[in-house]
Structure 1
């Protein structure tokens, strides 16, 4: 992913780069047949013990490919076709017991779902046979073709990116996207088109600079470690990592190994994190990892391409997460999230500027796809899109139609409400 920081007085730029990320164009195409009617359900997922909201809880409609995820406040919005009157929804998240509920349980507003924390002692369960974490990771990679989608698929997803200076939202972009995902045993890159998108910026809060994120949806799609093993877990470079077992857990009520990984060579920014591997099938079902950037000089050389005189820019924290979902015995990318903190230091200034960049994408629907007609009907743009530059502004409340989205967080919702008021006043 790339970041541009524009100095508002003389329009000089910073360019920061994480290798290998693409981004694609705004595309007007129909996602759903117009005659299908949808029902929207809203609510929250909370901890049964203390009532605290549970973020990143995954809601999947059984016997369909429809899904969504909760925001940082534990809130969700789920839209399903009216004819799925007998549907059941499974709610799951790491560290909690999954729960499956009939659609009759859900209300149009304020459905409250309580999940219980996992308290079962897992370390003694005989199902856990692996004794060597390195061999387990190798088996996980070797079984990629067996465990993950082997056919092309067409995925509908929702993407959001936010940029904050301190605690203030200065940039917000959202999009419903189509992902043309090649099979996991194929080296072809995935393609993306933007169906609907909206953005807002408030650069007055940025004082002398404007920070922009390059990469759009691919910033999160390329976190798919099993599709893009070349970015983190290259099979031929497993010896460059140290693997250790952590305490096992449960995900979606399935027993799961937890493997810590860490790059041995720390001379450059290096990866470390956790792999969550299904105990029965050796499938990667989740990964949470970071890039260590303690060496500021090395990080600056890695990320900064251009910058104005008198300024230093470097990342202070880079965190990533990817989750997979299962359908008919095959797994696929379901959710990706990147959290990035940056600092801008200016000469002759006492205080620096701190920025937080968050981007996340959830797959809300998908279907098998066997054809090439999308290449004729879809425009794919150059790999340098900046969402806040290349999409339109905010629209009315019906803008997203029947598409599932991630419910806005409170701070983001406040920003959206302010934008709408300003539009109405004008």
Structure 2
């Protein structure tokens, strides 16, 4: 059986003999490929079917290099690239430089994939300290599904195939912020597919474009178009350079940074700078995403400064048999690589084409575990502890499970529903004249025949196990009636469709207290020493409402459909098993600072309260809660 062979190589400048980073290395018309690291080195896994193919190396501004693959395995291949500056040539530009960009945008369906493609790619991200040493490093092998480039509104999907990490942040650090961007820069950095602002016709009025000195890429002459905000314009988010093929008007790449206004409008508002560099490569007559380089710096109110670096590299392109990954397989935008439990391992990528880490990064990763082991050994010796277990195997271990564990169990939700009411309605009249007081309440109200009341609620859950959670719900009623209530109980949830988008069966049991009230007016209070049911109500104005207070047991059944790993659409039906319902008169202070206002509740019947419905004395109200309660809402998990 013939196995894949590994090609090691290094790309240098032919004149200066300096390493060339970011050069694109490919075989089989770039179907397989990689890029050089900061030292100019690359490693490329060559399957048997491609070992007779030709090797190409290209970089903007250099002459492309093509040769037959050398016998494998073999020594490191040395490749020298010669500079190839190119003038603009005799290209007729009849309009503004903006016209070149407009023409390139118009030709995206012709130059970029017109059907779905699948990229296999390597992803790396890190957060480096102020002197460039990584505080963490995470790497992954990805499958990236790309819809055709005529659909800029569909970013596609990403599937994480393999992942490893090293977390070198201090274990006792009080604040640990995961800045991890995840693998989605393969989507967010693809400015051609997304029609980034600086190539979006809707924003051309915000940008100024000018033509720079020409250059070449893979033997092609290119336009170098500098772009930035028009004078006096604050709506342009980006500033940088575009590289456009002169012959086909294909976008070959771009490099840009965010303006001050763009940073304020960006999703991560704490960033002080953000830069991107993106390149495309030709395959089968179309230009496909090759590399994305992303760097963000931020100084947040808490914790150390963040120096985030992420890069994506396409290592294989598949234009046939492209199937979008299923829900369970595809990553979500809130997934964070740092939660992986796979430790850093030098042999992890055996047999895979990845991007070599530069020598400085490899040395930093080596030095920091060594320093941690030395510090651990020093502490053990000072305390007299046994140091026999301190050695090469004492590498950093995952700490995610102990960090913010409490917060990871919290989830929240909001819902809208119907609270069941029934009754005949009628004319209400209430009189309350407490003995020995100057306060007198005389109120009337007309109550229409009650029906289900609109209810909104907010739900807090604390997960005990994978299927069981404690639940606290606060509820408010709106419409003809008002009221407040709460529920306290437990909720059970089980996935009915394992292996697919989760559909959960839900069952719950709670104790509920809910008021249903009807206001009867606001009244002057001449008695600043008024006491009602033992509560002092000294405000100048008091409002009054008649209400029922229901206590019940509430069993519920429902369904939950997972929209993303963090958001779930839920629908529940409950049946109120009434324990007791009381009629009450409630008085509330209406003046004074709201945090110091008091309320008092009088249970009916009461000797000081005269209640009449349709002019008939009574101690009950013309509405009563019924049994069925329905709600639909959205639930959010703080940490999936």
Structure 1 unaligned residues grouped into runs of 5+: 1-34, 306-313, 347-351
Q: Residues of 1 paired with 2:326 and 2:197: CA distance?
A: 26
Question: Which of 1 and 2 has greater Rg?
Answer: 2
Q: Of 305, 309, 313, which aligns to 1:362?
A: 313
Equivalent runs, 1:198-217 vs 2, <5 Å:
198-204=164-170, 208-217=174-183
Partner of 1:336: 292
Offset, 1:276: 0.5
CA RMSD of aligned residues (A): 2.8
Contact 2:185 2:312 in 1 (8 A): no
Equivalent runs, 1:109-124 vs 2, <5 Å:
109-120=75-86, 122-123=87-88
Partner of 1:134: 98
Matched, 1:384 2:334: yes
Deviations 1:241-268 (A, max 9, x none): 1111111110111010111111226536
Q: Which SS does the other structure have where 2:99 is aligned?
A: helix
Contact 1:77 1:406 in 2 (8 A): yes
Deviations 1:209-268 (A, max 9, x none): 434223312124311111001554322221211111111110111010111111226536
Offset, 1:344: 4.2
Q: Which SS does the other structure have where 2:125 is aligned?
A: strand
Matched, 1:286 2:235: no
Offset, 1:317: 2.3
Offset, 1:424: 4.2
Q: Of 304, 309, 324, which aligns to 2:280?
A: 324
Offset, 1:396: 5.2
Deviations 1:20-55 (A, max 9, x none): xxxxxxxxxxxxxxx772111112111111111111
Q: Of 403, 412, 417, which aligns to 2:352?
A: 403
Structure 2 unaligned residues grouped into runs of 5+: 374-390, 395-640
Bigger strand fraction: 2
Contact 2:180 2:338 in 1 (8 A): no
Offset, 1:395: 3.2
Partner of 1:425: 393
Q: Which SS does the other structure have where 2:66 is aligned?
A: strand
**How many pairs align?**
372
CA 359–130 in structure 1, closer or farther in 2 if over 3 Å, else same: farther
Q: Which SS does the other structure have where 2:182 is aligned?
A: coil
Partner of 1:170: 135
Contact 1:342 1:356 in 2 (8 A): yes
Q: Residues of 2 paired with 1:206 and 1:129: CA distance?
A: 62
Partner of 1:274: 241
Q: Of 213, 220, 236, which aligns to 1:247?
A: 213
Contact 2:8 2:77 in 1 (8 A): yes
Matched, 1:189 2:139: no
Q: Which SS does the other structure have where 1:214 is aligned?
A: coil
CA 232–107 in structure 1, closer or farther in 2 if over 3 Å, else same: farther
Contact 2:5 2:72 in 1 (8 A): no
Q: Residues of 1 paired with 2:163 and 2:110: CA distance?
A: 36
- TM-score scaled to structure 1, two decimals? 0.79
Bigger relative contact order, structure 1 or 2 (CA pairs below 8 A, ≥6 apart): 1
Contact 2:24 2:34 in 1 (8 A): yes
Q: Residues of 2 paired with 1:374 and 1:341: CA distance?
A: 33
